[in-house]
Amino acid sequence: MKMFVRVIVLTAVIFGAPTTMLGWSIFTALSALLTAITLVLVRDGFAAHTKLVGFLTTAWMYWGLSYLSNLIEAVYFSVIPIKVAISGALAGLIMALVVAGLLEALTIPGTEGPVRPVALAPGVWWRVPVLAFAFFVVYVAAGAAIYPWVAGFYAHQRLPTLTEILRLQLCRGILDLACIYPVFWQWRQSRKRAVWVSACVFTVLCGWAPLLLPNQFMPGLIRLAHAVEMGASGIVFGIIAATVLLKRVRSALSN
């Protein structure tokens, strides 16, 4: 089915749940649209062996990046209570399963064009820890850049030390890589496309989409500052992750 139709259908489904709770908002609609576009781009990029594998890959990536990873950080920084985080994670899991199932039903295998051979680079055992540390470096750099705009919001909260942030972001980096790794493992398009789709995934699913949604725990201007932070760090980390984890396979079809 054409990309436009799938994006519209997914946007309507993703938009429906938060609108029921939060009411109409242009930011909710934009969050749903960006998420839908990103998920369709990802699903068109990999060739799953079965519909079930495709469904699980998309659901795990969506839930892990948009919900689980962000909620872990929110609890760590005492932005939201742990009970709220648990209920949010469960609601997010249901959303991810529904959206991934619908996307899989609307995706027709073998209609995305010629295969551009790529493969996972060898030495994953050292690449993943290096990338997790890169995630920490990018995170700290982006956070330091926007800190003057959010300092007042966090002034009365106990912020983690640099060592504590290192532990958290190393764990989050490994989790985020575990979410995107099955996609890279099944990637069927060019490495160049994988790089910019990966940047889109980490920018939208980890940052823009969840931060655009209104909530009672973080004021709009603070969310906007963090959206800029997560957008910048997501682009950089997404590019690094795909570049490091994927290699071109020599072929007349490869880019």
pLDDT tens track for 192-211: 999 999 999 999 999 999 99
DSSP labels for 34-89?
HHHHHHHHHHHHB--SSHHHHHHHHHHHHHIIIIIHHHHHHHHTTSS-HHHHHHHH
The per-residue pLDDT for 209 is 92
Does the pLDDT of residue 83 top 50, yes or no?
A: yes
In the 8-state DSSP scheme, what is residue 187?
B
Q: CA torsion angle for 105, 110, 115, 118 (degrees, to 10)?
A: 30
Q: What percent of the chain has pLDDT over 90?
A: 75
pLDDT tens track for 131-150: 999 999 999 999 999 999 99
Does the pLDDT of residue 23 top 80, yes or no?
A: no
pTM listed for this prediction: 0.92
Nearest to 180 by CA among 163, 165, 166, 197: 197
In the 8-state DSSP scheme, what is residue 160?
P
The per-residue pLDDT for 252 is 42
